[in-house]
Amino acid sequence: MKKCLLHLIFLFFISISYAQVGIGTTTPSAASMLEISPTPDGGFSFRGFMPPVMTIAQRDLINVATTDAGLLVLINDSVVGIQCLQFYTGTTWVCTNDSSGTGFTVFAAQDFDATTSWNYTLTPTSYNIPALEDIWAVVGALDHITGFTGDFLGCSDLDNPISGPNVDHMIAFDNVDISTATAAKVSFDYDIFEFDTGDRVSYELFYDDVGQGISTVLAGNSNASLRGTLTFNIPNTVTNVRMTVIINQSGNEDKAGFDNFRVFE
């Protein structure tokens, strides 16, 4: 009798290992391994799915491999300035609302590589003297700046004889027509390494040529470093949008990089 019971239990577990699993439903989709019902109490209330919530630093402690493509986490990091659902591609983490993916309308973008439709002006004019570490130019690599793939705008020792002392360095983008957009956004990536007191990164958005005020990304203090993505929702009454990023920095040990500027919805 005992052998028969054990045999039945064994067959039961084999059968459910090949079946679909439902949470809150007894009829999960035949196309899914797992279906979670939003109404587990029969339709009287609704609930959502909560993925693991963490900061960028906590996410980076996950020991991922190339076989972990599709792994999902929710980043809620007020220090870095990122709040988004991220998935692992097998090589890197990507926000699901990243405009480089499919399903987005891109009005203009500048990644200093293949996508260069958002025109810009550098002030002062670009310069690059690696021997002095005086750099204000599009580069492929820069010490301590590791957050980008391909070329990016690099900054190092911006207080130098070429540009003059304490000079704001600016990348100013042209106006982009967003009159057809209903939910336009502006976004860019930044990687800032060990900015000291007096060093600063800031930006200003312009709606129909009206400045919206200068906002700070990072005010340097005791080797402050910061990396992340900033995304701004543009009011749907705006027909043209542009942006300027402003950097003031001295010292060749401090670096910064900027990339993936884009206007999209």
Please write the tens of the pLDDT for every residue from 120-151: 999 999 999 988 889 999 999 998 998 788 89
* pLDDT for 169 beyond 90: yes
Give the pair of three-digit tokens for residue 63. 């020991």
Whether residue 28 lies inside any domain: the answer is yes
Least confident window among 19-28, 106-115, 171-180? 19-28
Indicate if 167 and 214 belong to the same structural domain: yes
Whether residue 47 lies inside any domain: the answer is no
Residue 69 to residue 91: CA distance in whole angstroms:
8
Q: How many residues does the chain have?
A: 265
Q: What is the mean pLDDT of residues 61-82?
A: 82
Indicate if 237 and 143 belong to the same structural domain: yes
C-alpha distances (whole Å) from 227 to each of 48, 72, 138, 176 are 30, 21, 18, 26
pLDDT band of residue 53 (cuts 50, 70, 90) is very high
Residue 163 to residue 123: CA distance in whole angstroms:
9
Indicate if 187 and 217 belong to the same structural domain: yes
Whether residue 43 lies inside any domain: the answer is no
Which residue spans within 59-133 are E strands per DSSP?
72-77, 82-88, 93-95, 106-110, 120-123, 127-129
Q: Domain count for the chain, please give it.
A: 3
Whether residue 219 lies inside any domain: the answer is yes
pLDDT for 54-71, tens place per residue? 887 888 889 988 888 889
Residue 244 to residue 265: CA distance in whole angstroms:
20
